[in-house]
Chain A
Amino acid sequence: MIINHPLLGPRDSAEFVYLGDAELIDRPDPETASPEDWYEYGYLRDNPAGLHRELWWHEGGDRSWLVVTRNTMTHEITSVEIARDVARKMGRSS
């Protein structure tokens, strides 16, 4: 699989480490979250057959985090974003 890094261009996916569903960016607020919130955040997954937004870490490269949109049926990658930009749009990062 080739991941088209927004800064570095096409890179082999073997350079990356996968860390699951991109929803993990949206961590519950520790001040207000209930145990149920943490259970859902930590364990429950949509696990879709089709388009899936997921986190890949460029461990063997520039150490950036990416949000990759990939089809879990075909391995086709349709978009790659810098995770920090995604998090900023969600109000998760300054």
Chain B
Amino acid sequence: MRYSGLKVIKEALTGHKGWTPAWRDPEPQPHYDIIIIGGGGHGLATAHYLASVYGQHKVAVIEKGWIGGGNVGRNTTIIRSNYMLDGNEPFYEFSLKLWEGLEQNINYNAMVSQRGIMNLIHSDAQRDAFIRRGNAMMLNGADAEYLDVAAIKREYPFLNFDDARFPIKGGLAQRRGGTVRHDAVAWGYARAADSKGVDIIQNCEVTGFRIENGKCHGVETSKGFIGANKVGCAVAGNSGRLMSMAGMRLPIESHVLQAFVSEGLKPVLPGVITFGAGHFYVSQSDKGGLVFGGDIDGYNSYAQRGNLPVVEDVCEGGMAIMPMIGRARLLRMWGGIMDMSMDGSPIIDRTDIEGLYFNGGWCYGGFKATPASGHVFAHLLARDTPHETATAYRFDRFKTGHMIDEKGMGNQPNLH
């Protein structure tokens, strides 16, 4: 069934009895050309682009829980391409372009909203750095705009411009950045992939790989063995745990990152604001809640919940930059598990095991990358060569010294 305005009106007038499930619930077949482990945003996007761009239809997505129950349902929904380094910026700009055409591409309302994102500047040195970043973005075909204090005051009059420690001295805006409804991304990709014959197998946990003579022949699961010519892993957060089943150690630690939603408010915040100095970023959802977050808790965790010191730290950051939210009540907080790679950048590569491919290490930035991550991973799986925008995301970059230190933080995991 294709969705359309006419269909919505017809269903509204006939009691919504004509809607059908958005995707099938099939039992696994004995063998597939390609299996994707992980039914999150990246795994489902990979399946969609494998089927729609790379002509692969004997594909299965295996998910241990349910679609939309992992990190794609636990993030702060921001999309942007305001990176700087050569290995990164073309990839994230590719992703933003895919976001712009996503809803038409998958015939699904993902509520893509290009409301703009603005990074605040607090010192002359930071201004220089951000203007350089803006230039790098424009050289890669992205948009960037420097805002002076007067321009920011027009758009965001409620910010604390006179903070003694971090006075606002300007901002770097990307007008094409914004937010997307995260659940709809998972559901939309799942529906689009399913309609092209991809089997989406939920409640099916991978318990091991069948690897013989250095070649992967499939996966052992809670629903039995499923054979495959190629297996792609896209389970960020659990990458270390999954790949250890294949005998691999990764340059990745799993950490918890918390996010928060306030009670519903009238529209107060037109775009996305990041306050890097205080580790706080915020947007307002279409339901009215302020959605915000800060830093990772800072120690290995698979617990999907955080601890109070970071709650306090994030809320302090919020109060420092937006004192007006002081009386808003916190409605919910939650923790997602992040693959923190040693340089803060992702890994999309073949492994040393033939037929086994890896996509992970997304650190804080997995959601905005969803379409491009899926597209380039599909490219790698279908053609065995990296997509042109993802050639730098190799496993061996830590050995060869070609790390992508976007935040200039080096390789110490405690500095992620």
Contact = CB atoms under 8 A, between A and B. Distances in A.
B301 A75 contact: yes
Contact of A20 (B238, B240, B301, B414): B414
Given A18-B298, A18-B414, A19-B414, A46 B303 contact: no
A72 B255 CA distance: 9
A13 B307 contact: yes
Interface string B297-310: 01111110001010
Contacts of B249: 40, 44-47
A13 B303 CA distance: 17
B24 interface: no
Interface in B304-337: 307, 309
A46 B244 contact: yes
Contacts of B252: 45, 47
Chain A CB within 10 A, most for which of B301, B307, B411: B301
Contacts of A75: 301, 303, 307
Interface string A36-73: 10011011111111001010000000000000001011
Given A35-B399, A72-B301, A72-B302, A47 B309 contact: no
B199 interface: no
Nearest to A73: B302
B398 A39 contact: yes
A72 B254 contact: yes
Given A18-B298, A75-B301, A44 B399 contact: no
Contacts of B307: 1, 13, 75
B64 interface: no
Interface residues of A, number: 28
Nearest to B254: A47
B233 to A, nearest CB: 14
Chain B CB within 10 A, most for which of A21, A47, A72: A47
Nearest to B397: A43
Interface residues of B, number: 25
B241 A49 contact: yes
B300 A14 contact: no
Nearest to A57: B414
Interface in B371-416: 398-399, 411-414
A45 B250 contact: yes
Contacts of B399: 35-36, 39
A12 B238 CA distance: 28
A42 B302 contact: no
Given A39-B399, A42-B398, A47 B411 contact: no
A52 B413 CA distance: 15
A43 B300 contact: no
Interface string B187-221: 00000000000000000000000000000000000
A74 interface: yes
Contact of B251 (A19, A43, A54, A73): A43
Contacts of B300: 20-21, 47, 52, 54, 72
Contacts of A49: 238, 240-241, 254, 302
B361 to A, nearest CB: 11
B349 interface: no
A75 to B, nearest CB: 6
A36 B399 CA distance: 8
A13 B307 CA distance: 10
A21 B249 CA distance: 13
A21 B399 CA distance: 20
A73 B303 contact: yes
20 contacts: A12-B309, A13-B307, A13-B309, A17-B414, A18-B299, A39-B399, A43-B398, A44-B251, A45-B250, A45-B251, A46-B240, A47-B241, A47-B252, A47-B300, A48-B240, A52-B300, A54-B300, A72-B300, A73-B302, A75-B303
Given A21-B253, A43-B398, A49-B302, 19 more contacts: A18-B414, A20-B412, A20-B414, A35-B399, A36-B399, A39-B398, A42-B411, A43-B411, A44-B249, A46-B249, A47-B250, A47-B253, A47-B300, A48-B240, A48-B241, A52-B300, A54-B300, A72-B254, A72-B303
Interface of A: 1, 12-14, 17-21, 35-36, 39-40, 42-49, 52, 54, 70, 72-75
Please list the 4 inter-chain residue pairs (A to B) with the smallest Cβ-Cβ separation, ordered nearest first. Answer: A47-B240, A43-B251, A44-B249, A18-B299
